[in-house]
Amino acid sequence: MKSFAIIAGVVLSVLLTVFAVTCTGKAPPANLLNTASTDLPAPDSSVALPAGNLPLRTLRDVPLSGAASRFDYQSFDPNTGRLYIAHLGDGILTVFDASKETVVGDVKDLPRVHAVIAIPELHRIYASATGSNELAVIDDSTLQIVARAPAGDYPDGIAFASKLKKIYVSDLHGKTETVIDANTNQRLTTIALGGGAGNTQYDSVSEHVFATVHRQNQLAEIDPTRDQVVARYELPGCSESHGLLIDSEHRLAFVACEENAKLAVFDLETKKMTAIKSTGADPDVLAFDKSLGRLYVAAESGIISIFDERGRNLEKVGEGFFAPKAHTVAVDSRTHRVYFPLQNVGGKPILRIALPSDKQL
């Protein structure tokens, strides 16, 4: 019945458009909502693979600081080889040296820290502290907090618009994007999104910022020169759009759909959603190995889905249960090591380091 209703709706829409053009001689005016992306994407061809069909081999588990509590986003700095891990439950940011495989230290006083992003060119690390509704600015050499800026209501994802030196923070409850000057650490403005803001990413080619919008199931495009939403794109078949990752080089964006365990593939050139893939239940954080062209999707259910880029699309190469609450993932594109902070292994938090088992590395 749902399929029939969708088809009937599409046919009716086409007939009404033809009628309008015939009668007036003009096409309907363009709207900020880009409906081109409602062209139905390719059917989901990524069937769930058998449990255990996961091309990952664990190298080792490294003990982490703090209690057995929830982790969230991570950020890898390729210049220093450091991995920054948001330990949400403990309100600390753990700094891990990937080459030595040791914990360098912890940045404390970050209540319910969610997202983190390292910006090597500024020698700064930015972390969203949801418990205090702030963005913390951290010196990457001293690991000291050097500034704090108000960042809306429930700040989450963070993006850096490098050309204009602006930080964009998605505010889940505030339904806005907070803009902060990276030079002065002062809040510049807020941008209404019309729904809860999920994750936020910067596209280095268009030099625009993209944010997922909860409940609306949209991808919003922001022009940093004006700090305005310039377009909104529908994501048909994606329920509760949240996680976001952009592959600027290949002009693709990937959106994790929390509610219906899907991954949307969005073409940044045509501005259309081109495919939808299945994932583990409640997908959250995404990580991309640029060298291998491999995308990791970590889910709250502990299932990891692995996709390889094939032209303008993705091919699922593995999926299976990895560990309880393995919902956050990061990858080093040089060594191809994949990092999974796990909150409770034998009563303690650990960092599980893995490597693709289907590649000669």
Q: What is the pLDDT of residues 157-187, one digit of tens each?
A: 999 999 999 999 999 999 999 999 999 999 9
Residue with token string 């994802």 = 157
Which domain covers residue 60, as residue numbers? Answer: 33-356
CATH code of the domain containing 297: 2.130.10.10
What distance in Å separates the CA atoms of residue 35 and residue 48, rounded to the nearest whole number? 30
Q: Assign 288 a pLDDT band (cuts: 50, 70, 90).
A: very high
Residues forming a β-bridge with 176: 171, 192
Distances (CA, A) of 156 to 6, 37, 159: 34, 26, 10
Lowest mean pLDDT among 19-23, 102-106, 190-194, 244-248: 19-23
* Percent of all residues in the chain with a pLDDT value above 90, rounded to a whole number: 83
DSSP sequence for 211-262: EEETTTTEEEEEETTTTEEEEEEE-TT-SSEEEEEEETTTTEEEEEETTTTE
Decide if 153 is inside a domain: yes
- The pLDDT score that the predictor gives to residue 180 is 98
**Is residue 190's pLDDT more than 60?**
yes
On whether the pTM is more than 0.95, the answer is no
Q: Are the C-beta atoms of 126 and 140 separated by less than 8 Å?
A: no
Which pairing describes strands 294-299 and 303-310: parallel, antiparallel, or unpaired?
antiparallel
- The pLDDT score that the predictor gives to residue 191 is 98
User: Which CB contacts under 8 angstroms, 24+ apart, belong to 133-136?
Assistant: 135/167, 135/169, 135/178, 135/180, 136/107, 136/110
- The pLDDT score that the predictor gives to residue 5 is 40
Q: Which helix (H) or strand (E) holds 330?
A: strand 330-331
Q: Assign 312 a pLDDT band (cuts: 50, 70, 90).
A: confident
Looking at the structure, do residues 19 and 82 belong to the same domain, yes or no? no
pLDDT (tens digit, 9 = 90+) per residue, 24-73? 433 333 346 654 444 556 556 555 555 468 999 999 999 999 999 999 99
Q: Which helix (H) or strand (E) holds 7?
A: helix 2-24
Q: Going by C-beta distance under 8 Å and a sequence separation of 6 or more, which residues neighbour residue 24?
A: none
Q: Which two tokens stand for residue 173?
A: 């409850």
Return the DSSP state at 361: -
pLDDT (tens digit, 9 = 90+) per residue, 315-359? 999 999 999 999 999 999 999 999 999 999 999 999 999 999 999
What is the dihedral sign for C-alpha 158, 159, 162, 164?
negative
Decide if 62 is inside a domain: yes
Q: Is 2 or 344 the better-scoring residue by pLDDT?
A: 344
Looking at the structure, do residues 200 and 335 belong to the same domain, yes or no? yes
Looking at the structure, do residues 193 and 49 belong to the same domain, yes or no? yes
- The pLDDT score that the predictor gives to residue 361 is 79
Dihedral over alpha carbons 115, 119, 124, 126 (to 10 degrees): -10
Largest Cα–Cα distance in the chain?
72
- The pLDDT score that the predictor gives to residue 39 is 54
- The pLDDT score that the predictor gives to residue 32 is 60
Decide if 197 is inside a domain: yes
- The pLDDT score that the predictor gives to residue 17 is 42
The whole-number average pLDDT for the span 126-132 is 98
What are the backbone angles phi and psi of residue 341, rounded to the nearest 5°? -70, 130
- The pLDDT score that the predictor gives to residue 30 is 34
pLDDT (tens digit, 9 = 90+) per residue, 201-216? 999 999 999 999 988 9
Looking at the structure, do residues 118 and 207 belong to the same domain, yes or no? yes
Q: Assign 360 a pLDDT band (cuts: 50, 70, 90).
A: confident
Looking at the structure, do residues 4 and 144 belong to the same domain, yes or no? no
Looking at the structure, do residues 51 and 131 belong to the same domain, yes or no? yes
- The pLDDT score that the predictor gives to residue 22 is 41
Residue with token string 């061809």 = 45
Residue with token string 């048909």 = 236
**Is residue 280's pLDDT more than 80?**
yes
Looking at the structure, do residues 24 and 89 belong to the same domain, yes or no? no
Looking at the structure, do residues 24 and 98 belong to the same domain, yes or no? no
Q: Total domain count for the chain?
A: 2
For the chain, the first-to-last Cα distance in angstroms comes to 49
Looking at the structure, do residues 167 and 280 belong to the same domain, yes or no? yes
Q: Which two tokens stand for residue 308?
A: 């390889």
* Percent of all residues in the chain with a pLDDT value above 70, rounded to a whole number: 86
Looking at the structure, do residues 37 and 26 belong to the same domain, yes or no? no
**Is residue 12's pLDDT more than 90?**
no
Q: Going by C-beta distance under 8 Å and a sequence separation of 6 or more, which residues neighbour residue 327?
A: 282, 284, 285, 298, 299, 300, 302
Looking at the structure, do residues 341 and 262 belong to the same domain, yes or no? yes
Decide if 361 is inside a domain: no
Q: Which helix (H) or strand (E) holds 14?
A: helix 2-24
Looking at the structure, do residues 5 and 97 belong to the same domain, yes or no? no
State the average pLDDT for the chain: 90
